[in-house]
Amino acid sequence: MNSQIYPTLEIPQTLAAGPGPGNTDARVLQAFASAGVADHMQGDVLRGMVECKLMLREIWGTSNTYTFAVAGTGWSALDTMFSAVMPGDKVIAFNNGTFSGIDTLTLRIKAATPDEHAANPLDPQAASVTVIDIPHGQSVTGDMVEAALAEHRPKWAFMAHWETGSGRINDLRGFSDACERHGAMGLIDAVSSLGVEDFQIDNYPGIAGWASCPQKGLCCLPLTYAPVSFSDEYIDSLKSTGAYSYVHNPIFEARHWGIVDGQDVEKGTYHRTHSGYAVAAFHESLRLTLTEGLAKRSGSYRTHEKVLRDAVTAMGCEVTSDMPSLLVLNLPPDLAGREMELVQNCRARGFGIWPTLSAPVQVRIGILNQLNRQAISQIIRLFAEAMRELGGTVDFEEIEALLESRYGTSIAA
């Protein structure tokens, strides 16, 4: 039998202008590529892991000892966080987009009884889980959380901080306060907010568990390390119930990072063969985040998002999102229904914007690690050209005047 030998895979450069993964910082790529070949117990790799967990605590603004990272993407971190939810646990989960919807499915899988799994293995209808569906394009409010928790009195409450499916920011303060009042342990999907928004998780004591990712706000590579942080209350609950997981059990994972019985120890005691390359990249992304400072980075996102928002609005689009790293928009009425066509045209040219992944179909344009005049101007011009090619009316002189007025003197290139 003759084997077919395929040519070397060559992936062209793409302008990452979607909800994530973002534009990986060149310094992070350099750290990944220049790491020496080392086993997972090499001294510099272990030192890097210690420094990573310390930097994570500072970036996230927490004294939680159980703050570390899970090998993989944001899904790995979320699965780790949700592993404390046991069959029959009472859960309230808020769904206002594609990804919080997947999170609520995960929670139903975790909380379902064996009989509920047998009845519908891929979509168990766990009686102990109440999903609060919020209409697309709306945010979860503190009043919504208060009402649901007052009525159901769950052990766990879940919400996404920033929902990239619809581009909406949900009420973190209202969620945390309601969890405190009603004795629920809050769980937060912070996949899209960490590294973009300037917030400290210790200011939200109603939230017991947090999960994020490396490839969005931290501008690291996917499949490196996904941050998590857990309160002592969360860990105590986990100790009392156990978890149907070995790889993603937070207590075991923490031991890999040298966190044992609530204390940092000299050496990890849980075996995981990890990558020195991934540690080097993750370490550099955290170091760069701290060097820049979250306050400055958060302000830059809001400044540049406003330029992009005003530009697409001038093209006749309607923006329905409120995230500073992502626009979700409707095309002008004369192009309505052609969102997928526009997105496909852009992606065929290496301009990586995205549609929404559930109805209604909208266009998503992200600016992760694109915080400069050149990048934002390129995104705006490419989108304007795509609109024109589809038959839309775009005043290019107006767009150039807007860019000049915003970037001429007020923002350095």
Listed residues 290, 312, 338: the one ending a domain: 290
Listed residues 290, 314, 340: the one ending a domain: 290
Whether the CB-CB separation of 68 and 252 falls below 8 Å is answered with no
Q: How many Å apart are CA 245 and CA 83, to the nearest integer?
A: 7
Are residue 171 and residue 311 in the same domain, yes or no?
no
Residue-wise pLDDT tens for the chain (413 aa)? 789 999 999 988 889 999 999 989 999 999 999 988 777 778 898 899 999 999 999 999 999 999 999 999 999 999 999 999 999 999 999 999 999 999 999 999 999 999 999 999 999 999 999 999 999 999 999 999 999 999 999 999 999 999 999 999 999 999 999 999 999 999 999 999 999 999 999 999 999 999 999 999 999 999 999 999 999 999 999 999 999 998 899 999 999 999 999 999 988 777 778 889 999 999 999 999 999 999 999 999 999 999 999 999 999 999 999 999 999 999 999 999 999 999 999 999 999 999 999 889 999 999 999 999 999 999 999 999 999 999 999 999 999 999 999 998 544 43
Can you give the CATH number for the domain in which 309 is found? 3.90.1150.10
Q: Which domain does 308 fall in, by range?
A: 294-408
Q: How many Å apart are CA 146 and CA 94, to the nearest integer?
A: 12
pLDDT for 408 equals 82
Residue 124 lies in a domain: yes
pLDDT for 159 equals 98
Listed residues 290, 316, 342: the one ending a domain: 290
Residue 4 lies in a domain: no
Are residue 252 and residue 389 in the same domain, yes or no?
no
Are residue 254 and residue 361 in the same domain, yes or no?
no
Are residue 141 and residue 193 in the same domain, yes or no?
yes
Residue 119 lies in a domain: yes
Residue 213 lies in a domain: yes
The secondary structure element, H or E, covering residue 224 is strand 224-230
Q: How many Å apart are CA 196 and CA 204, to the nearest integer?
A: 18
pLDDT for 413 equals 38
Are residue 382 and residue 286 in the same domain, yes or no?
no
Residue 73 lies in a domain: yes
pLDDT for 100 equals 96
Are residue 144 and residue 264 in the same domain, yes or no?
yes
pLDDT for 250 equals 97
Tell whether pTM > 0.85. Answer: yes
Are residue 261 and residue 130 in the same domain, yes or no?
yes
Q: What is the DSSP letter of 140?
A: P
Can you give the CATH number for the domain in which 52 is found? 3.40.640.10
337 backbone φψ class: left, alpha, beta (φ>0; ψ -120 to 50): left
Cis peptide preceding 12, ω within 30 of 0: no
Are residue 203 and residue 280 in the same domain, yes or no?
yes
Residue 311 lies in a domain: yes
Are residue 62 and residue 170 in the same domain, yes or no?
yes
Are residue 262 and residue 306 in the same domain, yes or no?
no
Whether the CB-CB separation of 318 and 330 falls below 8 Å is answered with yes
Question: Known binder of ligand: residue 349?
Answer: no
Q: How many Å apart are CA 69 and CA 229, to the nearest integer?
A: 8
Domain count, the chain: 2
Are residue 120 and residue 228 in the same domain, yes or no?
yes
Are residue 224 and residue 242 in the same domain, yes or no?
yes
